[in-house]
Structure 1
Amino acid sequence: MKIAIAGRANVGKSTIFNRLVGKRLAIVNDTPGVTRDRREADARLQDLTFILVDTAGFEGADEETLEGRMWRQMERALDDADIYLFVVDARAGVTPLDEVLAGDVRRRGKPVVLIANKAEGRLGDIASLEAYSLGLGDPIAFSAEHGEGLSDLRDAIAEAMVAAGEMAATHSVFSPVLETELEEGSEEDGEAVDPARPIHVAFVGRPNVGKSTLLNAVVGEERMLTGPEAGLTRDSIAVEFASGDQRFKLVDTAGLRRRAKVVAPLERLSTADTIRALKYAEAVVVVLDATQPFEKQDLTILDLVVREGRAVVIALNKWDLVEAPDPTIRAAREAASRLVPQAAGVRVVPVSALSGRGVPKLMETVTDAVKRWSARISTGRLNRWLEAATQRHPPPAVGGRRIRIRYMTQAKTRPPTFIAFCSRPDALPASYQRYLVNGIREQFDLPGVPIRLTLRKQDNPYAD
């Protein structure tokens, strides 16, 4: 079942989310309104397993404001959920905003577990008594930070699951999990469950280049909070998506600014979250503003992605604002090859997140990039190419003795990593190593793929 955490800002929803998920996924800070997008993850509480959804805090603002758009994100999470965890701050007591949101939750008619968070110690039960006035049942005195009240919460969630199941049976609908199982088939009907893992794709870039809007265009719904304000995204939010037979796990991230400008503690947390998402991704879509592409920070981000060895695709967003498309895309592709030589041939895809133009092509390019990133080349093919390459351009002579490259093999994939055995690995110039890497990329059709080359000295079998 899907359980959504609801409540006003700064009552500890994200701390509860992290506690039940068992990982520090959501950013936690004393600043109100840190969470802006809804985040989903698998959670476990003793013997219970469920999907948990963290939501933005309710602040009761006008619809056109940032807070109003955050509330619409919470509403969508509440619409999709089977059960609500309604959280109040036991120390602060019940506020008018708590009462307004509690009224909305009551009208939805779904099972609710009322949590009085921050109720640590002996006074916890007394501090939580005020929550009775919300009319949402018995409050659970809970402390997400210290893990107090977990057994009581487990019992309350189990009771709510029974009630939610009875409601589903009454209305003749399946739970989301059961629907998925029926769609995928079972051993009895002879249909195999699709074993393919989703491709993990992170969308990264400078602030305000349209990463969240582009991800919304890919999934076909307003899944991420968007707006004209720079720096809206703070958490790295993962969204499941399927295109044909291929499944993706798309991760929206906070914009990356120059390190010298990142001084606020909250922005440092967001930046660290983005870097972590990048390291766990298989492919990275670096989103550039088509009207101002390849600025210094764009190149810094591209260099970071390539150094991490991820499959990389450049998305030129805001293409609807470009007045001369043909010369602009030619210049962008030339600039990419010139400015990102460590991933020569990286694919550049023009897209418009607002109109959806180029979005299907972008995901096709990402899939292709991951296939090339996962490529394995046989040792025979590799050494036949090596022999021809070294004959065409022999390694240099150092100290009167020519360096000999005897053998090459691929050690691993993702990214493709090669080991070359040579007579003097410490003396082979970096320029010749680049020659070998570029030759591998060209010969075996690996454009835009980071390639790692390690040099080793082959042991002399007659040394003893």
Structure 2
Amino acid sequence: MVFKPVVALVGRANVGKSTLFNRITRSRAALVADFSGLTRDRHYGEGRVGDRPFLAVDTGGFEPVAKEGILLEMARQTQQAIAESDVVIFLVDARAGVNAHDHEIARLLRKTGQRVLLAVNKAEGMRYGSATAEFHELGLGEPHPISASHGDGVVDLIEEALSYLDQEGADTSDGELAHDAAADAQAEDADDGAAEESVVHRIKLAIVGRPNVGKSTLINTLLGEERVIAFDMPGTTRDAIEIDFERGGVPYTLIDTAGLRRRGKVFEAVEKFSVIKTLQAIEACNVVLLMLDAQTEISDQDAHIAGFVLETGRALVVAINKWDGLDGERRDRVLRDFERKMRFLSFAKMHTVSALNGQGVNALIKSVNAAHAAAFAKLSTPRLTRELHAAVEQQQPPRKGIFRPKMRYAHQGGQNPPLIVIHGNALDAIPDSYRRYLETRFRTAFKLDGTPLRIEFKSSHNPYLQGAQ
């Protein structure tokens, strides 16, 4: 599985980390993970330099020696970001110069052994030597003068950060990269039908959820062995764990999520829930299995994870675990809570299970298979168009002024998630309520349960519309 590299922005308060984050992600809202209790001054965003995508992490002001209160919590967040990153950009302020906090942060970064780039921000209008000279004493290599607000030097900085990863990959070229190249060549060989078939049909299933909901226990139940550590303490999982197995003749790759990416680079004080890890797994899989804990309330974290699955367009199945430990009244309460807080997941199949004893697991896997099939369904243009015309005949779209939108035909524009493109006139006037009506019709007609469905309208130019208005 190929993950986007992670670049963490670290530094004391007011050095321009958020300004740099905004510039490299081009949107403060990109992949913002507003997880309750996890994101005080810590944000996640997608960036791209040329054709190289990456994930950026914005952190709060960092004081490594903080002992209590909000500063301690912010320090923990920053330590988490450092631990799960591939490269760290340490920002300092060219105008303010080096101070004691900078030295503390530099000392901590040197101990981690992480790849670090030193970026001297607010260097616009300053001579190169005067902007960077005193920052050599931090012992983190050549300082890079930039201006996050003006963009000076930012592209070069990110390109060098990503080049670190290229160099790191080159060091292992005799191992896993050579293996990857061989695998790619094998997959592209038309004569190797078995390899091609395994690529096409293997289901990549990411199991996500809050700590201690039973993700590793479910994987052990599916495999019939204690393959991953399952322990009654949040955050047991530390590494990215991918496991290939077969069930009922269907090959799967299970992706267990919860912890930090690297052993040995984890600080004792950091949280045990890795947002980056979960976001990456969701983006890399075909189907997401979202696990909820029947013995606790559905939280904002659960809703935010589900919302991100919906945004990425991944197929989804929901499992409410530890169901065997509840009485009838409590079960009714949990189901009502799910309907109220997760109503936007109406497309997804929900199961009540016990990962520990295997209750409901067979039905769960059937829904995973169905969701995968729906996500990659091939929808013929004639049938889509017939269903579109039948929907319009039953209920026409509302008029806008004297004009009524006219839908002529539909075709499939993509898979995972399925995209249906509808062509006609004045389609920009179609309200969201009618879009939802069409979505329901298509979902029912093509049995697209378990996957988001997207509809795109493309209008032809109407020469009379502009004149009439």
Q: Which interval holds the TM-score relative to the shorter structure?
A: 0.5 to 0.7
**Residue of structure 2 in register with 1:218 after alignment:** 222
- When normalised by structure 1's length, the TM-score is 0.54
d(CA) in 2 for partners of 1:418 and 1:154? 44
Give the whole-Å Cα distance in 2 for the aligned partners of 1:413 and 1:239: 25
Pairwise CA RMSD: 4.2
Alignment CA distance shift 1:227-1:428 (3 Å): same
Q: Deviations 1:295-335 (Å, cap 9, x if unpaired)?
A: 3322221121111111100111112212229x937973x76
Is the Cα–Cα contact under 8 Å of residues 319 and 352 in structure 2 kept in the other structure? yes
The verdict on how the C-alpha distance between 1:272 and 1:322 changes in structure 2, with shifts beyond 3 A counting, is: same
1:310 alignment counterpart? 314
Name 1:446's counterpart in structure 2. Answer: 448
> Is the contact made by 1:303 and 1:340 (CA closer than 8 Å) also made in structure 2?
no
Match of 1:270 in 2: 274
| Cα distance in 2 for residues equivalent to 1:330 and 1:244 | 34
2:358 to 356, 359, 379: 356
Q: Which amino acid aligns with 1:240?
A: D
Residues 204-251 of structure 1 show CA distances to partners (whole Å, capped at 9, x for unaligned) of 011211111111111111122221211222333111111131111001
How many percent identity over aligned positions? 35
Larger Rg: 1
Whole-angstrom distance in 2 between the partners of 1:321 and 1:27: 42
**Offset, 1:27:** 12
For residue 327 of structure 2, what is the amino acid of its counterpart? Answer: E
1:196 maps to 198
- 1: CA distance between counterparts of 2:386 and 2:4? 49
Q: Which amino acid aligns with 2:437?
A: Y
1:85-126 CA deviation, whole Å, 9 max, x = no partner?
xxxxxxx9xxxxxxxxxxxxxxxxxxxxxxxxxxxxxxxxxx
Give ranges in structure 2 of 5+ residues lacking alignment: 9-110, 112-164, 176-190, 261-266
Instruction: Give the 3-state SS of the residue equivalent to 1:402 in structure 2.
Output: coil
Match of 2:325 in 1: 321
1:390 equivalent in structure 2:
392
- Give aligned pairs, total: 288
Displacement of 1:202: 0.3
One-letter amino acid of the counterpart of residue 405, structure 2:
I
* Pick aligned residue for 1:415 from 417, 424, 427: 417
Distance 1:381 1:275, change over 3 A: same
Provide the residue aligned with 2:284 in structure 1: 280
Alignment of 1:49-448 (within 5 A): 195-197=197-199, 198-254=202-258, 267=271, 270-292=274-296, 294-324=298-328, 328=331, 332=335, 339-448=341-450
Letter in 2 for 1:297: Q
Letter in 2 for 1:206: R
* CA distance, structure 2, for counterparts of residue 276 and residue 358 of structure 1: 28
Give the whole-Å Cα distance in 2 for the aligned partners of 1:353 and 1:380: 43
AA matched with 1:438? T
For 1:388 and 1:433, the matched residues in 2 are separated by 15
8 Å CA contact 1:202, 1:278 repeated in 2: yes
User: What is the deviation of 1:437?
Assistant: 0.9
The TM-score, its normalising length taken from structure 2, stands at: 0.53
Which letter does structure 2 place at the counterpart of 1:348?
A: M
Cα gap change, 1:458/1:154 in structure 2, threshold over 3 Å: closer, same or farther? closer
Question: In structure 2, how many angstroms separate the alpha carbons of the residues matched to 1:329 and 1:194?
Answer: 46
Residue 226 and residue 302 in structure 1: after superposition, are their counterparts in 2 closer, same or farther (change >3 A)?
Answer: same
Shift in CA distance, 297/372, structure 1 to aligned 2, threshold 3 Å: same
Contact 1:416/1:451, CA 8 A, preserved across alignment = yes
Cα distance in 1 for partners of 2:325, 2:427 equals 50
Q: 1:403 to 1:339 in 2, by over 3 A?
A: farther
Equivalent-residue separation in structure 1 for 2:340 and 2:346 (angstroms):
8
Specify the SS of the correspondent of 1:457: strand
Q: Helix, strand or coil for the counterpart of 2:221?
A: helix
Contact 1:27 1:269 in 2 (8 A): no
Q: 1:445 to 1:376 in 2, by over 3 A?
A: same
**Structure 1: stretches of 5+ with no match in the other structure:** 1-20, 29-91, 93-143, 156-186, 257-262
Shift of 1:435: 1.1
- What is the CA deviation profile of residues 134-157 of structure 1, one whole-angstrom value per residue up to 9, with x for unaligned ones? xxxxxxxxxx9997x979x989xx
Deviation at 1:23, TM superposition (A): 8.1
Instruction: Give the 3 Å change call, closer, same or farther, for CA 396–265 of structure 1 in structure 2.
Output: farther
Partner letter of residue 358 of structure 2? G
Does the 8 Å contact 2:240/2:259 carry over to 1?
no
Deviation, 1:288, is 0.7
